[in-house]
């Protein structure tokens, strides 16, 4: 009885590898895009939760929490203690995790490149000479300022909660919009009370 070896030829193996490569080239980018969309949705949900906690704090205290700086305020820690308006402040899912990163300039001061949590900025009034980065027209369009031509400026209390955005960079002057591309520059930013994303 003759002995015959049955197996795959080199051509058959190359065809199988090529098919697997094509399927991976289709599936991997879709998987990565789905992960980014999920992180954007989580970020927006976290920011809404922080905003709700800020409004509860404001209802109890009559003002929004202040932090340690004169304009850019980091006061989200006051939402967790002594009264727990939220159990913990969630981390920004897009923030890089390099502990040795340096500070970067922003229109209203310097921020560390690595902010594991959302950035919370709070203001009670506007001084154009101190805060030139804040445009009166921008505040008016967001519903924060009553009259952009008034002197002194008439604005409501307002706050801003920012997340890094999918590109992982502090693009503080740009607003993220997925219609510009899923990895487009810009930060995810919420303006309160009530002005939204």
Write out the chain's pLDDT in tens, 197 residues: 566 677 788 999 999 999 999 999 999 999 999 999 999 999 999 999 999 999 999 899 888 887 544 333 357 878 888 889 999 888 888 876 665 554 444 444 444 444 567 777 776 655 545 444 455 555 555 555 555 566 655 555 678 888 888 887 777 777 888 888 888 888 888 888 766 67
Residue 144 falls within a domain, yes or no?
A: yes
Tell me if 150 is assigned to some domain. yes
Residue 3 lies in a domain: no
For tokens 């939204």, name the residue.
196
Copy the structure tokens of residue 71: 């304009």
Domain membership flag for residue 1: no
Residue 119 is predicted with a pLDDT of 77
For the chain, what percentages of helix, strand and coil (3-state, to nearest 5) are there?
Answer: 35, 15, 50
Q: Which two tokens stand for residue 140?
A: 């008016």
For 94-131, b where at least 16 C-beta lie within 10 A, e where not — what string? bbeeeeeeeeeebebeebebbbebbbbbbbeebeeeee
Q: Which of 72, 90, 92, 112 is nearest to 163 (CA)?
A: 92
The answer to whether position 20 is within a domain reads: yes
| pLDDT recorded at residue 115 | 55
Buried b (16+ CB within 10 A) or exposed e, 29-45: eeeeeeebeebbeebee
DSSP H helix total and E strand total for the chain? 2, 7
State both tokens at 175. 């607003």
116 contacts 97 by C-beta, under 8 angstroms: yes
4 domain residue, yes or no = no
What are 116-137's pLDDT values in tens digits?
677 777 766 555 454 444 555 5
- pLDDT on residue 14: 95
Q: If residue 123 lies in a helix (H) or strand (E), which one and from where to where?
A: strand 119-123
> To which H or E segment does residue 140 belong?
helix 136-141
* ω into 82 cis (within 30 of 0): yes
| Cβ(146)–Cβ(193) below 8 Å | no
pLDDT number for residue 31: 93
Number of domains in the chain: 1
- The verdict on residue 197 lying in a domain is no
Q: Is residue 2 part of a domain?
A: no
Confidence (pLDDT) at 184:
86
Domain with 74 in it? 10-192
pTM here? Answer: 0.69
Q: Omega into 7 within 30° of 0, i.e. cis?
A: no
């Amino acid at each position: 009885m003759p002995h015959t070896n049955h197996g795959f030829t080199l051509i058959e193996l190359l065809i199988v590898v090529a098919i697997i490569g094509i399927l991976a080239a289709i599936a991997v980018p879709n998987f990565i895009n789905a992960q980014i969309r999920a992180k954007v949705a989580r970020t927006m949900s976290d920011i809404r939760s922080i905003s709700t906690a800020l409004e509860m704090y404001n209802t109890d205290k009559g003002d929004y929490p202040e932090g340690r700086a004169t304009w850019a305020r980091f006061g989200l820690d006051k939402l967790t203690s002594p009264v727990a308006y939220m159990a913990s402040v969630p981390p920004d899912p897009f923030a890089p995790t390099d502990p040795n990163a340096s500070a970067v300039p922003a229109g209203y001061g310097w921020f560390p490149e690595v902010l594991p949590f959302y950035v919370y900025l709070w203001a009670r009034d506007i001084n154009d000479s101190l805060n030139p980065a804040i445009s009166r027209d921008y505040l008016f369009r967001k519903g924060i300022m009553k009259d952009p031509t008034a002197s002194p400026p008439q604005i409501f209390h307002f706050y801003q909660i920012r997340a890094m955005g999918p590109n992982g960079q502090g693009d503080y002057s740009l607003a993220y919009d997925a219609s510009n591309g899923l990895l487009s520059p810009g930060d995810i930013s919420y303006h309160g009370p009530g002005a939204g994303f």
